[in-house]
Amino acid sequence: MSTATFQIWRGERGNGKFVDYTTEYETGMVVLDVVHKIQGSVANDMAVRWNCKAGKCGSCSAEINGKPRLMCMTRLNQLDLTQPVTIEPMKTFPHVKDLVTDVSWNYEVKKKIQKFTPRKPDAPDGTWRVQQADVDRPQEFRKCIECFLCQDVCHVLRDHRLHDEFIGPRFLIHTAQLEMNPLDTGNRLKALKDDYNIGYCNITKCCTKVCPEEIKITDNGIIPLKERVVDEFYDPLGGLFKMFR
Amino acid sequence: MADYPVHEYDVLVIGAGGAGLRAAIESSAAGAKTAVVTKSLLGKAHTVMAEGGMAAAMGNVDERDNWKVHFADTMRGSQYLSNCRMAEIHAKEAPARVRELEAWGAIFDRTKDGRINQRNFGGHRYPRLAHVGDRTGLEMIRTLQDHGIHQGIDVFAETTVIKLLQDGGRCVGAFAYDREKGRFMAFHAKAVVLASGGIGRSFRVTSNSWEYTADGQALAYQAGAELLDMEFVQFHPTGMVWPPSVKGILVTEGVRGEGGVLKNKDGKRFMFDDIPENYRPQTADSPDEGWRYTQGDKSARRPPELLTRDHVARCINREVKAGRGSPHGGVFLDIAWIKEKLPNSVEHIKKKLPSMYHQFKQLADLDITQEPMEVGPTTHYMMGGIQVDAESQMSSVPGLFAAGECAAGLHGANRLGGNSLSDLLVFGKRAGEHAAKFAKSNGADRVNPADIDAAAQAALAPFERGAAGENPFTVQSELQDIMQNLVGIVRTESEMEEALGKIEALRARAAKAGITGNIEYNTGWHTALDLDNMLSISEMIATAALERKESRGGHFRDDYPEKDAEWGKYNLQIARGTDGRPMVRRVPVVPLTDEMKQIIEEQSK
């Protein structure tokens, strides 16, 4: 068995420091295994949030060697173990303790987004008829596991701290799946422009890069939404057309 | 009473998985002021891990399907120990519950004519599982979550209940702490719904998340409720076996539903060797017939890989024990072979089983479109739990309801895949509805301050013992080994007696658990508080399993390897005895009505 050193951020409410833990590891281990091993032996009180350990719940988000990732899906053989590996909490959200942050802002944001409102059923038995091709796109967005890594890496939130004005990539694709659901009758374009400030996103695609579900957040979600907003509010010819419609 | 905040509600729901959220939505829609308490963040509960789908006889893919067939399948799968009234309600109401999810924003995979698609699964006669690729649980929990947040339900996230509060016999609330700050709080409620999930963390190899520490079952037991069928633990036949750190993670039955086959190291499809008599008429004679079934040929019968989970798990266990297993102690599950049949098999597998593709690629460096997987049994689901009334989901404690995995009745000795997600919806809704009704017709009772003080004092004791106390993680880990090795997939009397002795010894050590650090987000403390529930439920499982001297469904005894018709007449019920220990007794199974008997007979042809 080989050993490696992990520098884990320990502390509370933003005050803390890296603490070195040198531990043995075996083939196939992921970063979350190492964190559990250390917690179970020498750091019983270490705070770490996790649930499924299978990349399905999106609880164990952290920054590993500076990169936002799920601890449960980061295998040690993807890391350079000749150097100490750093494990820190996400930076975009208020720190609670050790690797845990307060992500409650995300839950508040979602409540503000207009809910799904279906059209009348297509069949007398109250069901709808929808072709698979028409739901492939919203299904892609619904793969989201709400790990908030995209929010963590978004510079509008991370660097400019515009949490009060911008909903972030997670909720832009949430809005996108509602807007692109063929059954939905809602319209969130004005809110996208004025309340969610989709214009703040300058499509650097950092969110897409960190998404563990490999959702094409920018290309398939945000850019089409931006186009819809532009068509609705900034297209002079289209505006003229609408006046005479 | 110390100065803890007291939250007042009509209905308190404990647990925010499929059953809890569905109960809360129903209760709140009925006008009851409703709160949900969850150990995790909203939307993270174990339901997200469900893969294959939810069973509902909608008949979208095969019009021969209807509630009667679903009912008969469930009863046969349960080895006739289900509460037949629950099986009937479930089969009748599941289709409406699935359609309701669509009306709330779920986007299921579609049939060619645009309806909700349905897939094959073990023990289901026709394609019956509404699904979204292999991430159906995520779709379900997200839909309920997004619907629920617009309904005025209060959510207490990362909050753990440690005691149910009672006035006389009646349940009137709960006492809890929040994980972040470690603050205690009381909930005063007119009705309480337990929807806290399963028990898998008591076993070493499990597909379950850390949350599955048997909280609801243990809380109900402490409150005096009766539990049922505790000997029936489901070992899912296909969990990952390699690498070691991911051992136990689920590999969906959907792989077999899509044509995946099980082989031993000699390349033999061993499932054809052992087909139980009562399933023979429905099972394929040849590999070719099995393949045609998975591709929707209505004249074909299902391949033996899609027999019930208890049976498949035991067959795998037998192959491994006989030395015919794979290099890491499992068997091979091969979906890559379908390239012989389908020209676009790589894309097809990725589309039908996206999570499985990623899971193996990322965690095991294995491409399932090219190579077979290695799989073996993993602790997956608790059939037993809190005994409830079939219609209302109320337990034997007035005001205390239970739904989902922590309740018992629907699945008997073995649960069919896909019957769990539909269970959550059907009985979650009923629990919410009846809890709200109960709250309306019964005023608030009194919470006893002395109970709260005692609970708080007990919860804080590990801090007083500090580093000198037992490491709670070590105690938990030892319990997992005991249950895995002595009360697992194959059981015998001497091993279970040994397990009971060891559990008793661990209980003494758990009582001395010590904690360092402060009370804020202290995972060691949380683990110390979970131990009591885990130990108490482990004792009940071993006690019931020792009592049932036959093999049936998820319960297999090496010393009584045959099914015994006499035992088929009884469920085992557990309640707290006057000495505080689990007292087990036989209760007759709920009798079938004449109509039910007729349905079962027609469907067994």
In a domain, B140, yes or no: yes
Average pLDDT over residues B337-358: 93
- Cα atoms in the Cβ-side hemisphere of radius 13 Å centred on A129: 7
Substitution target in B21, B42, B44 with the highest count of A β-carbons within 10 Å is B44
**Statement to judge: residues B368 and B456 lie in one domain:** no
Task: Measure the CA–CA gap between A60 and A139, rounded to whole angstroms.
Answer: 23
Domain boundary among B398, B425, B449: B449
**For residue A85, what pLDDT is reported?**
98
Q: Which residues, 6+ apart, have CB-to-CB distance to A235 below 8 Å?
A: none
Cβ distance of B114 and A57 shorter than 8 Å: no
3-state DSSP percent of chain B in helix, strand and coil, to 5 = 40, 20, 40
Cβ distance of B473 and A178 shorter than 8 Å: no
| Structure confidence at residue A245 as a pLDDT band (50, 70, 90) | low
A198 to chain B, any CB pair closer than 8 A? The answer is no
Task: Measure the CA–CA gap between B17 and B423, rounded to whole angstroms.
Answer: 12
Cβ distance of B363 and A138 shorter than 8 Å: no
Range of the structural domain that residue B345 is part of: 246-379
A206 to chain B, any CB pair closer than 8 A? The answer is no
pLDDT 10s digits, B495-546:
999 999 999 999 999 999 999 999 999 999 999 999 999 999 999 999 999 9
Substitution target in B41, B465, B519 with the highest count of A β-carbons within 10 Å is B41
Segment (H or E) for B373? strand B373-382
DSSP β-bridge partners for residue B14? B37, B194
Domain boundary among B329, B362, B379: B379
Among candidates B40, B245, B520 on the partner chain, residue whose Cβ is nearest the Cβ of A28 = B245
pLDDT over 80 (residue A244): no
| Structure confidence at residue B476 as a pLDDT band (50, 70, 90) | very high
Among candidates A28, A102, A178 on the partner chain, residue whose Cβ is nearest the Cβ of B246 = A28
Average pLDDT over residues B347-364: 91
In a domain, B169, yes or no: yes
Burial of B353 (0-12, 13-18, 19+ CB in 10 A): buried
**For residue A51, what pLDDT is reported?**
94
pLDDT 10s digits, B418-427:
999 999 999 9
| Structure confidence at residue B248 as a pLDDT band (50, 70, 90) | very high
Helices marked H in B149-227: 215-222
A13 to chain B, any CB pair closer than 8 A? The answer is no
pLDDT 10s digits, B592-601:
999 999 999 9
Closest B-chain CA to A57:
B44
Burial of B280 (0-12, 13-18, 19+ CB in 10 A): exposed
Q: Which residues, 6+ apart, have CB-to-CB distance to B84 below 8 Å?
A: B75, B590, B591, B592, B593, B596
Domain boundary among B322, B354, B379: B379
In a domain, B204, yes or no: yes
pLDDT over 90 (residue A238): no
3-state secondary structure of B419: helix
**Statement to judge: residues B185 and B224 lie in one domain:** yes
Closest A-chain CA to B112:
A131
Cβ distance of B149 and A111 shorter than 8 Å: yes
**Statement to judge: residues B28 and B154 lie in one domain:** yes
Residue A67 phi, psi (nearest 5): -105, 130
**For residue B19, what pLDDT is reported?**
98
User: In Å, how far is A83's CA from the nearest CA of chain B?
Assistant: 22
Residue type, A186: G
Question: Taking CB atoms and an 8 Å cutoff, what residues of chain B touch A138?
Answer: 107
Question: Taking CB atoms and an 8 Å cutoff, what residues of chain A touch B524?
Answer: 39, 44-45
3-state secondary structure of B11: strand
The catalytic residue positions of B are 236, 256
Closest B-chain CA to A119:
B103
What CATH superfamily classification does A104-240 receive? Alpha-helical ferredoxin (1.10.1060.10)
What is the location of CATH 3.10.20.30 in chain A?
Answer: 2-101
| Structure confidence at residue B351 as a pLDDT band (50, 70, 90) | confident
Segment (H or E) for A37? helix A31-41
Cβ distance of A45 and B362 shorter than 8 Å: no
pLDDT 10s digits, B95-108:
999 999 999 999 99
A48 to chain B, any CB pair closer than 8 A? The answer is yes
Cβ distance of A44 and B472 shorter than 8 Å: yes
Percentage of the residues of chain B whose pLDDT score is greater than 70: 100
| CATH number assigned to the domain comprising residue B292 | 3.90.700.10
Query: Is there a contact between A179 and A115 (Cβ–Cβ < 8 Å)?
Result: no
**Statement to judge: residues B163 and B270 lie in one domain:** no
A52 to chain B, any CB pair closer than 8 A? The answer is yes
Among candidates B285, B304, B302, which has minimal Cα distance to B293?
B302
Establish, for the pair of chains A and B, how many residue pairs have beta carbons separated by less than 8 Å. Answer: 173
| CATH number assigned to the domain comprising residue B163 | 3.50.50.60
Question: Taking CB atoms and an 8 Å cutoff, what residues of chain B touch A69?
Answer: none
**Statement to judge: residues B373 and B412 lie in one domain:** no
User: Which residues 364-423 of B have a C-beta within 8 angstroms of A?
Assistant: 364
**Statement to judge: residues B16 and B124 lie in one domain:** yes
Look up residue B13 and give its two tokens.
């729901």
Among candidates A128, A222, A137, A133, which has minimal Cα distance to A175?
A222
**Statement to judge: residues B251 and B292 lie in one domain:** yes
Question: Taking CB atoms and an 8 Å cutoff, what residues of chain A touch B99?
Answer: 126-127
Q: Which residues, 6+ apart, have CB-to-CB distance to B517 below 8 Å?
A: A44, A45, B524
In a domain, B576, yes or no: no
**For residue B193, what pLDDT is reported?**
98
pLDDT over 70 (residue A62): yes
**Statement to judge: residues B202 and B259 lie in one domain:** no
pLDDT over 80 (residue A236): no
Task: Measure the CA–CA gap between B531 and B543, rounded to whole angstroms.
Answer: 18
A19 to chain B, any CB pair closer than 8 A? The answer is no
| CATH number assigned to the domain comprising residue B507 | 1.20.58.100
Average pLDDT over residues B579-594: 96
| Structure confidence at residue B244 as a pLDDT band (50, 70, 90) | confident
**For residue B267, what pLDDT is reported?**
96
**Statement to judge: residues B423 and B494 lie in one domain:** no
- What DSSP character marks residue B470? B
In a domain, B293, yes or no: yes
Number of domain units in chain B:
3
Cβ distance of A29 and B132 shorter than 8 Å: no
B578 to chain A, any CB pair closer than 8 A? The answer is no
| Structure confidence at residue B1 as a pLDDT band (50, 70, 90) | low
| Number of helical H runs and strand E runs in chain B | 16, 18
3-state secondary structure of B174: strand
Segment (H or E) for A206? helix A206-210
- The CATH code of the domain at A2-101 is 3.10.20.30
A106 to chain B, any CB pair closer than 8 A? The answer is no
Closest A-chain CA to B41:
A59
Q: Give the distance from CA B313 to its chain's centroid.
A: 16
pLDDT 10s digits, B368-377:
999 999 999 9
Substitution target in B356, B362, B477 with the highest count of A β-carbons within 10 Å is B362
**Statement to judge: residues B329 and B371 lie in one domain:** yes
Task: Measure the CA–CA gap between B285 and B393, rounded to whole angstroms.
Answer: 42
- Cα atoms in the Cβ-side hemisphere of radius 13 Å centred on B14: 35
Substitution target in A127, A184, A211 with the highest count of B β-carbons within 10 Å is A127
User: In Å, how far is B578's CA from the nearest CA of chain A?
Assistant: 36
Percentage of the residues of chain B whose pLDDT score is greater than 90: 92
In a domain, B288, yes or no: yes
pLDDT 10s digits, B287-299:
999 999 999 898 9
User: In Å, how far is A26's CA from the nearest CA of chain B?
Assistant: 8
Closest A-chain CA to B147:
A115
Helices B594-603 & B67-77, crossing angle to 10 degrees? 90
β-pairing, B154-156 vs B34-37, is parallel
Cβ distance of A142 and B245 shorter than 8 Å: no
In a domain, B183, yes or no: yes
DSSP β-bridge partners for residue A8? A19, A87
In a domain, B239, yes or no: no
Average pLDDT along chain B:
95
Strand positions, DSSP E, B387-449: 400-402
- What DSSP character marks residue B347? H
Of the listed ranges A107-111, B76-80, B96-100, B358-362, the least confidently predicted one is B358-362
ipTM: 0.95
User: Which residues 419-448 of B have a C-beta within 8 angstroms of A?
Assistant: none
Average pLDDT over residues B563-584: 95
**Statement to judge: residues B79 and B208 lie in one domain:** yes
**Statement to judge: residues B210 and B265 lie in one domain:** no
